[in-house]
Amino acid sequence: MAAQIIDGKALAETIRKEVAEGVLQLEQKRGARPTLAAVLVGDDPASHIYVRNKIKACEQVGIKSDSHYLPSSTAESDLLGLIHSLNQSSEVDGILLQLPLPKQIDKLKALDSISPQKDVDGLHPWNVGLLVQSRAALVACTPLGVIEALKRYQVPLAGQRAVVVGRSDLVGKPLALLLMHENATVTVCHSKTRNLPQVVSEGDIVLAAMGKGAFLTPDFIREGAVIVDVGTTVLKTEQEIISIFGEGSKKLEDFRANKTVIVGDVHPSAQAKSSLYTPVPGGVGPLTIAMLLRNTLRAAEIRRR
């Protein structure tokens, strides 16, 4: 039987509709819509695209957006001053600080300066601590989207062996915690893990968040496992694409037309062994923004009680 695909785009659209309904209800009850303040420092092209997409998504569900674009020469004190003013604003419900930041700014110091109640990315130590205790209201968007997808596709989590490949603060660690709270038996793998293929192949659910394109080949995957691929690697040469997808593949045609192709952490040949998997692109990616919208609504609901 062919593996089923988790359609992240369709699921994200469903969640956006739910958020739009929640925004309307909040406005009817409290007389105000949620507001998300987006802060971008510097001129990184990809960051500008990400922020633009997030603002557009806000508009589509009725969330107000308040954008702040700062030059790459911005001093750390000036950024912290802006964040302080957004923390104090009665109009702002959520604050999004787009990463990466210029070298002169301490990333952790900037993230820590965001009010935990407005931390819609779920990265503040306060919210991370609450997540450890399964009490967090605002959780990192990508891990939250992964759990949402697994639940909506009715993947059993309790008692399942879940293997998380990657231990980043943004994805791997919070994802492992969320899975534990769902009563899964969780193993976290990383670059120092011995016998990595054997350990990963024991997973009923494999969640790849390494950032290494096509790294997990079929020998990492047990027959019938569920694969969640969080990784995104941009391939920039024809040889890279041929080595992964083969000669004459559609991906090679796409590269020649668009000059780039994105691949996940899981090799395409490994998908055939799974029962259910997330494609790259079109899997976890769309859910990240959907969860950002839901977190913003959640923050507004809590703050405006």
Q: Where are the beta strands (DSSP E) in 62-204?
A: 64-70, 94-97, 161-165, 185-189
Q: Phi and psi of 268, rounded to 5°?
A: -55, -35
Cα distances (Å, whole numbers) of residue 114 to 90, 92, 151: 14, 12, 30
CB distance 164 to 287 below 8 Å: no
Catalytic pick among 54, 118, 173, 273: 54
Judge whether 60 counts as a catalytic residue: no
Catalytic (active site) residue 121: yes
Q: Does residue 7 have an active-site annotation?
A: no
User: What end-to-end distance do the CA atoms of the chain give, in Å?
Assistant: 50
Catalytic residue among 66, 119, 121, 265: 121
Sign of CA dihedral 193, 199, 201, 204: negative
Catalytic annotation, pick one of 64, 93, 98, 273 = 98
What is the set of active-site residues? 54, 98, 121
